[in-house]
Amino acid sequence: MSDTVKITDIRVVLTAPAGCRLVVVRVDTSEPGLYGWGCATFTQRPLAVKVAVEEYLKPLLVGRDADRIEDIWRTAWVHSYWRNGPVLNNAISGVDMALWDIKGKRAGMPVYQLLGGKCREAAAVYRHADGASPGAVEESVRRWMAEGYRHLRVQMGGYGGRAGDLPKPEGALPGAYYDPAAYARSVPRLFEHLRGTVGFEVELLHDVHERLHPVDAIRLAKELEPYRLFFLEDALAPEDLEYFAAIRSQCATPIAMGELFNHPREWTPLIAGRLIDFIRMHISQMGGLTPARKVAAFAEMYNVRTAWHGPGDVSPIGHACNLHLDLACPNFGVQEWAGFSDALREVFPGCPEVRNGYMYPNARPGLGVDVDEVKAAKYPCASQVDVWTQTRTPDGTAVKP
């Protein structure tokens, strides 16, 4: 290979093999056959990310040296003048991950080797266990445990619990309704049941999903302390960061936060103030592997562990990026994983594999995941108006989802 490899093209592929709209970015180079893939998935606004990549980043970056990842990231970050928003961050992330993929291929190494090598052979993952009642959740937990999983996020009726037949005002607008008070009462009962039946050997997690007012979230964190959660996730919204000090001062329930974060000023005070225990950004939302590896190193100094966001609206390329960081970071905590369907595996050859509760990479250079564009085209992204993010409380007030 020549010493200098130039970026020759950047384009976006939209695909939805498992129903979630995924955004992936391909960066081509002047070296024949050398290209990289990155995840830019903002599933609620995929077309906005596509335009940002192809109409703004491509003209800026074609012709540049593909090896200069840090310079390219910083240039793309400030080029729009306004920065730290989800659309532009995801666009930058797609390019950034693709450049790391290219660098690993040029080096003939998996990306985790470029980050310092493995700290562990595989990453422990957690799965999602849900149900309509404590008994149904217990059944789900036991099924996952039988498959070898030792970390499980438990919900009862999804985020905010089961809505049921809520009394609404006349003329109330349509939306995804839930009752915050009923939800807050239900969670301690769920954990009381689970600890009484499955015991304390399995690690249990719960996601509040910013569905409570801060004072109610503080109360819930205190009530859950006897059940020794592995962590309580998103107890507060990013707009309520100052309340984390109140949670920390009143209980020892471990706290995880970050999947909605875009801006360094959101995660920096929580880590430096030792107000959370796990940092869990959506890596494409924060701008890619380049900022994520820096945040992981920063968090290590404060004994904060990583738990990167890994639901179904992260592409297998994004999951692979999570995994390479998981393997290389000494302060890894746990990795969220929603599983890969057969269709996802067909579209994204090289998907990481999970065995007995651990996720393993393949031995391929780079991120290790490719895209079959012919098969990806069989699963177009449908245009739709999401309902679940039109969240409302019983009186019809629109609230955070």
Catalytic annotation, residues: 159, 209
In 54-202, at which residue ranges do the beta strands (DSSP E only) sit? Answer: 123-129, 151-154, 176-177
Cα–Cα distance measured from residue 184 to residue 397, given in angstroms and rounded to the nearest whole number: 18
Question: How many CB atoms within 10 Å of residue 248?
Answer: 18
Cα–Cα distance measured from residue 171 to residue 163, given in angstroms and rounded to the nearest whole number: 18
Contacts of residue 48, Cβ cutoff 8 Å, sequence gap at least 6 = 42, 87
255-257/278-279 β-pairing: parallel
What is the number of residues in the chain? 401
In 115-163, at which residue ranges do the beta strands (DSSP E only) sit? Answer: 123-129, 151-154
Cα–Cα distance measured from residue 241 to residue 348, given in angstroms and rounded to the nearest whole number: 37
| Bridge partners of residue 278, in order along the sequence | 256, 305
Residue of 19, 12, 16, 7 whose CA lies nearest to 49: 12
Q: How far is CA 213 from the centre of its chain?
A: 23
Cα–Cα distance measured from residue 103 to residue 55, given in angstroms and rounded to the nearest whole number: 24
Contacts of residue 206, Cβ cutoff 8 Å, sequence gap at least 6 = 153, 154, 155, 187, 191, 224, 229, 232, 233
Continuous segment of H or E residues that includes residue 322: helix 316-328
Contacts of residue 12, Cβ cutoff 8 Å, sequence gap at least 6 = 23, 24, 25, 26, 40, 49, 50, 53, 54, 94
Cα–Cα distance measured from residue 137 to residue 128, given in angstroms and rounded to the nearest whole number: 10
- CB of 97 within 8 A of CB of 317? yes
Residue type, 103: K
Hunting for tokens 């706290």 — which residue is that?
255
